[in-house]
Every structure is written in structure tokens, then in C-alpha cells.
Structure 1
Amino acid sequence: MTILIEQSDHFGAEVEAKTEPINERELVLDGGFLITQTNSFGHMFRAYNDAESERHEGVENFYRKNHTYQSIDFVKKMREEYAKLNRVEMSIWECCELLNEVVDESDPDLDEPQIEHLLQTAEAIRRDYPDEDWLHLTGLIHDLGKVLNLPSFGGLPQWAVVGDIFPVGCRFDESIVHHKYFKENPDYNNPAYNTKYGIYSERCGLNNVMMSWGHDDYMYLVAKENDTTLPSAALFIIRYHSFYALHKEGAYKHLMNDEDFENLKWLHIFNKYDLYSKSKIRIDVERVRPYYLSLIEKYFPAKLKW
């Protein structure tokens, strides 16, 4: 069955899905981006409980550590340390090339170097939305924060770099993947942190909510503090693209303000390409490099502090 995702007349509105009996292994997104319904290992995307997947055991062990150690005290410590942006000065493209050294242990759908995923995402968006160059660039840079795993950036363990993110300082929603492992988290039984709102208030805005530490928040910090001219929707995507409990399951909306809801529309569009573009098909880096260098020059300074 082919799934066609149709957009309404004004861009950014809610999308409507319909089905047509064509091919059960294909998926068509907005502008004709054709992909399979299964990942590069032959399993469904984000199948975290599929014991037959060759990535299953490693991914589950990752989330056991992630959910145990991502406490509010840990997040505060990481934010304070990495807000200094004193690790290195380099360009966006130099950072892209560094990701050749990183493979995401939390991802059940991909075991390729991360630069492959960045280009697959960006090029899929570019085909469907040729006039939204800021969104192309967002696809390229959204995972650059994964350099935190490298020694020159502190060599953080993968549980502190990748994986789905979630708020700390309030109850861990049951929709979060492998929720059972939160029982070992020091915040789980803390009455200050284990209620619906915890330390927050209704519609306080996600900008006022502390998320588990990782590449999302770090790359948001790098972009913001280096005075990028990307629009607010791009920064929202960078910061919350791994917040699957929100944009897939609809959790934590009680903490969102009006601006968050507007930006969430863009994140829903982006997420389809971030998730479903993953494949073993390689992008010709030298062919697309000049285009992305031009976008980097448009939206970022030549060198950034990391």
C-alpha cells in the first residue's frame, strides 16, 4: 500500500493521510519522495521492541543507561559546561566531516556514519521543498551536535549525546521509549519532579523547559550563540527533533505556548524526512557540497565557537 501525505493549500497546516493500493513496500511523502516502509535492516522504522532486529539488544542497553543517568542535576551540569563554547573553532562543513567518525548507537534504523544521514535528510527535503533553503540547511545540520561523542568535545558517552529526548524536572511520560528504565533515575521518586508539571507551569513554553542533555540542545546552543540568521522554526527543529514523545505521541503539549505550536507544524514536516530518508543509498558528497556551502555562508559565520 502506498501512503500519500497531502498538504492543504497553505503551507504548514495539518496534513491528511490517504491510502491507495499500489505497493506495500513503498511510501510517498509530500512532493514525491519515494521510500520503503522498512529500514535498511528490513524491519519497520523505530521498532524498539523487535527482538529479531540485529540492533535490538544494543539499542535497549543504550536506553537503560540514558534513562537511568539523565537526571535534572546531570542536565544542569552539562548545560553549564557546554555553554562555554570553548572546545574548538571551526566551520559548519568541517563539523559535518567530523561526523564520519560517529555511528548512533540509539538508532535501530541506521548504522552508517552520520554524514550520510545528514545529506539524505537534506536532499530529500530539497527535492520536495526547493524554495525553502533554510529547511535544506536545517536537514544538513540538525545532528551536528553528535560531535559531543568525540574526544575533542569531551568524549561524552552515547547515552549523553543521542537518542530520544524528554523533559527533566517533571514526570517522565509513559510514551517515552523504554519508559521502564526510568525507575532507576534519581528523579523518578522525587516529589518535586514526578508530577505532571513538576517545576514548570501550564503553557510556560518549551524554551523554559530543561530537556535531557544531548546533541539537540547542544547544536541549538551553538547555532543561537553564534548568531545564525536561520528562522525560529529552524532552531525549534534543531532543538526538538528527537523529542518523539511530543511530535509523535502528543505528550507534554500542556507545557507549550503559541509559538511552540506554530513551530511544531514545521517539525512535523521535517520529521518525516529525518526518519524515512535513512537508507543504504549514498549521496554524492562532491556534487552537492557547493550548494550546501552556499547555504552555510548565507546563514552562518565562517567560523563558529563550539
Structure 2
Amino acid sequence: MSARILSPGQTMSLLDPSEQLRPEQVYEGKLANQFRDYSVDPNDPIKERVRRTYHNMHTNQTVEFVRSRMADWLQFNKLKMTIKDALIKLNDLVDESDPDSDLPNIVHAFQTAERIREEHPDEDWFHITGLIHDLGKVMAFYGEPQWAVVGDTFPVGCAWGDSIVYRETSFDDNPDGKDNRYNTKYGIYKPGCGLDNVVMSWGHDEYLYRFLVHNKCKLPDKALAMIRFHSFYPWHAGGDYMHLCNNKDFDMLKWVLEFNKYDLYTKSTRVPDIEKLWPYYQKLIDKYIPGVLEW
């Protein structure tokens, strides 16, 4: 059954019985509930890789850590390269937090973009958003461990949401959980403050969003919201942190959810013909994010 997100003050008195009876959707030959399987199996090397990545993330992503990474990365003085250069780098990156794919991340980029293009043929801004949404993962080539680059994101500075994966034990060694400034429902925030005013765990979403703003990209606000929050599963899938949201966030949520189905459900072993697709996407790069950029 699909989740229904409620704004503050809204209530739901009954469930839609048609949703309960509807057959579960199948994507790329898999049932929807077979994606994002975070069950623990010490004998499964991929599941163990994923679990370790999240354990390290949840132990080390503190307010102090995030602020240190922002101070470092948001100077945008690491290197200069084009969007195509960054995409090619992703050919050498396998996301250690992803239980659904063991292919290089560039394959996922084109899988996502092509499915969006198929279903939204007239929205070229959406196509390029699908292609570049994970480019922030280039941080992994410049000294950042993957637990500070990939995986689901969450706010720091307040209590951790119940729907965060491995939530029961993975935060046990995070010092913010014992800090009275950070371990309450609102922590350092105010009710309805808006996600623009929330400090997110450090990763590729926030970095790429800030990178695009810094380099004056021409993508619409809804594309930037998709990029900034596509890994914020505890919010858009789990329904957590609604108490921090404002009206802008609720308006953008529908776009994040629309993007999410292409990000998640296009993962498969089928590899697009990337060389054949380059000319089309290079035109979009030149339109929306041209030239040599500051990273």
C-alpha cells in the first residue's frame, strides 16, 4: 500500500480499501517491496557491506562533523571539471549503501534519466535532473569515506526519526544522542522552520544542491528539491520530520516523490547504450549546466 503523507493538523479516518486490494506493482521484474531490503544477514556480503556503511554513517554523522564538511567542501576549490567529466568518474564508483545494485553509478544515472525521458518526454529539465542526481558522489574520489557520501540522509541536531534504516542500534555510539541540545524532537530547530533551515547529514544530495547553486545552474526549483532531498527517505517515504516542514516543503514533496520512483525502481542489470545517448544529454548539459565548473 502506498504511503499517504499528511500535512500538520490533517487526520485520516479510514484506509482506501482499493489500495489494499490492488496487486503490488512490479518494476524491472521485482516486486516493489523487494527493493530497499535492509534485513541483516552476516552471510550475505552485499547486505553486510550496506549494514557496515550505515553503521559508520550513523555513528559519525554529528552536528560538528557536518559543519566541518560544509566548511571544507562548500569553498568549491577542490577541482574544476565539466558535468560529463564527473559522470565518467561515476563509472568507477559502486555505491556501498545500495542493496539494489552492484553496477557502476554511471549506469544508474542513465537508467534513471532514460525512464524519466520515456514517461516525461517534453520535460527536458527532468531528464537532466535524473542524469546528474548522484554526481555529488564524486566526493568519494577526493578523500571522503562512502558513509559521508552515499545512503539515506537525515537531519542532525534533533532526535533521529523512527523510520531511519537500522535505527534500533546504529546510533548507539553517536555522541549527539547524549547531548541535550540535539536529542529532543525539535533539538536546535523550531516547529515548521522549513527544511531550508535544517542541517542535513553530509552526503551527495546536499553537496550537489549547493554545487548547482554555486555554479548558477538553470534548473528549476523543483529539480533542485529533487536533488537535495531524493535520499531523505525518512521524510518522503517514512513520514518523519513533518513537524519541521513548512508549506514550501509540502509543495516540493510531490516532486521529490515523483522523482523517487525513477531513482529507485529503474535499478536493474540492463545497461543502457551510454555512448549512443551522450549526444542528447550533452545538449541538455550545455543548456542547463554548461562549461567547466567549480567543485
State how far apart, in whole Å, the 2-side matches of 1:55 and 1:79 are: 30
State how far apart, in whole Å, the 1-side matches of 2:266 and 2:135 are: 17
Matched, 1:75 2:63: no
Structure 1 contact 226–301 (Cα < 8 Å) conserved: no
Residue in 2 aligned with 1:94? 85
Residue in 2 aligned with 1:11? none
User: C-alpha deviations, 1:80-125, integer Å up to 9, x for none?
Assistant: 1001101111111111001111110010111100000000000011
User: C-alpha deviations, 1:48-76, integer Å up to 9, x for none?
Assistant: 01527541111111111110000000000
Residue in 2 aligned with 1:300? 289
Q: What amino acid sits opposite 2:294 in the alignment?
A: K
State how far apart, in whole Å, the 2-side matches of 1:267 and 1:55 are: 27
Question: Where does the alignment leave 5 or more consecutive residues of structure 1 unmatched?
Answer: 5-15, 28-33
State how far apart, in whole Å, the 1-side matches of 2:175 and 2:246 are: 29
Question: Where does the alignment leave 5 or more consecutive residues of structure 2 unmatched?
Answer: 3-17
Structure 2 contact 40–51 (Cα < 8 Å) conserved: no
Aligned with 1:192 (options 181, 184, 192): 181
Structure 2 contact 28–267 (Cα < 8 Å) conserved: no
Residue in 2 aligned with 1:66? 57
State how far apart, in whole Å, the 1-side matches of 2:35 and 2:44 are: 11
Q: Secondary structure at the match of 2:178?
A: coil
Residue in 1 aligned with 2:150? 162
Structure 2 contact 162–240 (Cα < 8 Å) conserved: no
Q: Secondary structure at the match of 1:145?
A: helix
How is 1:1-306 mapped onto 2 (pairs within 5 angstroms)?
27=26, 35-37=28-30, 44-49=34-39, 51=41, 53-150=44-141, 153=142, 155-179=143-167, 180-306=169-295
Structure 2 contact 154–232 (Cα < 8 Å) conserved: yes
State how far apart, in whole Å, the 2-side matches of 1:275 and 1:116 are: 13
Q: What amino acid sits opposite 1:272 in the alignment?
A: K
Residue in 2 aligned with 1:9? none
The answer to which of 189-198 and 45-54 deviates more is 45-54
State how far apart, in whole Å, the 1-side matches of 2:112 and 2:164 are: 24
Structure 2 contact 226–256 (Cα < 8 Å) conserved: yes
State how far apart, in whole Å, the 1-side matches of 2:124 and 2:19 are: 26
CA RMSD of aligned residues (A): 2.0
1:226: Cα distance to partner? 0.3
Structure 1 contact 145–215 (Cα < 8 Å) conserved: yes
1:203: Cα distance to partner? 1.1
State how far apart, in whole Å, the 2-side matches of 1:201 and 1:136 are: 36
Bigger relative contact order, structure 1 or 2 (CA pairs below 8 A, ≥6 apart) = 2
1:288: Cα distance to partner? 1.1
1:17: Cα distance to partner? 5.7
Cα gap change, 1:196/1:146 in structure 2, threshold over 3 Å: closer, same or farther? same
Structure 2 contact 89–138 (Cα < 8 Å) conserved: yes
Cα gap change, 1:74/1:168 in structure 2, threshold over 3 Å: closer, same or farther? same
User: C-alpha deviations, 1:11-62, integer Å up to 9, x for none?
Assistant: xxxxx968666xx7x62xxxxxx522259xxx91111015275411111111
Cα gap change, 1:290/1:252 in structure 2, threshold over 3 Å: closer, same or farther? same
1:215: Cα distance to partner? 0.7
Structure 1 contact 106–163 (Cα < 8 Å) conserved: yes
TM-score by length of 2: 0.90
Higher helix share: 2
State how far apart, in whole Å, the 1-side matches of 2:191 and 2:22 are: 41
State how far apart, in whole Å, the 2-side matches of 1:20 and 1:238 are: 31
Q: What amino acid sits opposite 2:30 in the alignment?
A: Q
